[in-house]
A and B are shown apart, each in its own frame.
Chain A
């Protein structure tokens, strides 16, 4: 149920009725049925998620990149906030307050 693999479309069936394509996953090629993507058919070069021989969705490179950016920034926002908190400029009920001038 859960084993779905990202693969790149490298070929499309010449007959569009057939809704078939070929995906490649690190050098291995398999025909996949594109029928579930008929509302927004992929083109060659698109990445799709494959499950039991059917393409389930297209993979959005943009969303993937955004996610990587978010992951890279993890912890940075908090570090920045803590630094600022140390200056005693914030009064946040959840955390210890450092008053300006206190040692």
Chain B
């Protein structure tokens, strides 16, 4: 396979738009075109969603994430839980066990204390469930009308699991794509909870800490894990597109294998949304060497919360740098990264 250098993307957009936060192409342009060349350095190397830092010879993983959610509370969770689970998951899919977190709150003037207290309690419960300590934080208050109630940022630090060595360059055609469970629950729940589209369904966010599941596959199939990611904003399509570009291979998925609840399918159909672009907060993707795939699946099936894990596709030489979804009807289509926000359509 011929090597080629990824082109330098310069950020030329004159102003920031919602699309830049949606997790798709626009977000990537912003990060790669503005932040990375000017701000980010990676002496320890990227772990994917986290960075490796060496301190006095010891390697730790560090990551940060901010949470901007409207409404603050929704079926299945709230912003506080997302803040804890999200950062723990970023560490977990980077092969790290979260050990400590710090948090910053940006609170809106006028936010009722009862609302804030509920979130703190929710975070406390999520921390206990995840087995991690919140060791400190900072708070700022901004004027009424900003911050949608509250914005939360969490930064997590973790120890690197020795069994896992994430390296996109080790990915080979034939490697399997593993998905932990049904997609779309979180994004659709939020969409419905906003109440703008007048849809009702029995759906909840899938927010949870996936560390126990990652530990299970690390234990049983560690040497075979090449890559992991939690498909949050931008969905499975965006995460896999990033992977395809990084490893310069093709990802081929089988549409009928991709699991989703009926309600997610129905909502996506009604609105004309692609479930592959919808955010998830409790799932992860992994690329696993074929000889370890069964072990990985078994480990998950025997772990609480991992019963729905399955293989949804594999890595192939073509179409290089792209994600292809094949349908049982013989058609296939390239699924791209999210361009902007997922937009409902009538046509």
Q: Is the CB of B261 within 8 A of A27?
A: yes
Contact residue among B261, B270, B272 (Cβ-Cβ distance under 8 Å from A30): B270
Q: Is the CB of A30 within 8 A of B347?
A: no
Question: Do A29 and B200 contact each other (CB < 8 Å), given the known contacts A3-B272, A50-B270?
Answer: yes
B128 within 8 A of A: no
For window 19-35 of A, CB contacts with B under 8 Å fall at 24-31
**Cβ distance B263 to chain A, nearest Cβ, rounded Å:** 4
Instruction: Indicate with 1 or 0, residue by residue over B248-263, a CB within 8 angstroms of chain A CB atoms.
Output: 0000000000000111
Alpha-carbon separation in the docked complex, A7 to B272 (Å):
15
Contact residue among B197, B265, B347 (Cβ-Cβ distance under 8 Å from A26): B265
Q: Is the CB of A29 within 8 A of B346?
A: no
Alpha-carbon separation in the docked complex, A29 to B267 (Å):
9
Instruction: Indicate with 1 or 0, residue by residue over A5-22, a CB within 8 angstroms of chain B CB atoms.
Output: 101000000000000000
Q: Is the CB of B346 within 8 A of A28?
A: no
Q: Is the CB of B347 within 8 A of A28?
A: no
Q: Is the CB of A30 within 8 A of B263?
A: no
Number of interface residues of A (CB under 8 A): 17
Closest to B265 in A: A26
Q: Is the CB of B198 within 8 A of A30?
A: yes
For the residues of A in contact with B, the DSSP-based class is strand
Chain A residues with Cβ under 8 A from B201's Cβ?
A: 27-29
A41 within 8 A of B: no
B266 within 8 A of A: yes
**Cβ distance B196 to chain A, nearest Cβ, rounded Å:** 12
Chain A residues with Cβ under 8 A from B267's Cβ?
A: 28
Q: Is the CB of A5 within 8 A of B270?
A: yes
Chain B residues with Cβ under 8 A from A3's Cβ?
A: 272, 345-347
B202 within 8 A of A: yes
Closest to A24 in B: B266
Instruction: Indicate with 1 or 0, residue by residue over B168-200, a CB within 8 angstroms of chain A CB atoms.
Output: 000000000000000000000000000001111
Alpha-carbon separation in the docked complex, A29 to B199 (Å):
6
Closest to A29 in B: B200
Instruction: Indicate with 1 or 0, residue by residue over A33-76, a CB within 8 angstroms of chain B CB atoms.
Output: 00000000000000000111100000000000000000000000
Q: Is the CB of B270 within 8 A of A25?
A: yes
Chain B residues with Cβ under 8 A from A31's Cβ?
A: 198
A to B CB contacts below 8 Å, 19 in the list: A1-B346, A2-B347, A3-B272, A3-B347, A5-B270, A7-B270, A24-B266, A25-B269, A26-B263, A26-B265, A26-B266, A27-B261, A28-B263, A28-B266, A29-B200, A30-B197, A30-B200, A50-B270, A53-B198
Residues of A that sit less than 8 Å from B by CB: 1-3, 5, 7, 24-31, 50-53
Instruction: List 10 tightest A-B contacts by C-beta distance, closest first.
Output: A26-B266, A28-B266, A27-B263, A26-B262, A25-B266, A28-B201, A29-B200, A27-B262, A28-B267, A30-B199
Beyond A26-B269, A28-B263, 14 additional pairs, beta carbon < 8 A: A2-B347, A3-B272, A3-B345, A25-B270, A26-B262, A27-B201, A27-B263, A27-B266, A28-B199, A28-B200, A30-B200, A30-B270, A31-B198, A53-B198
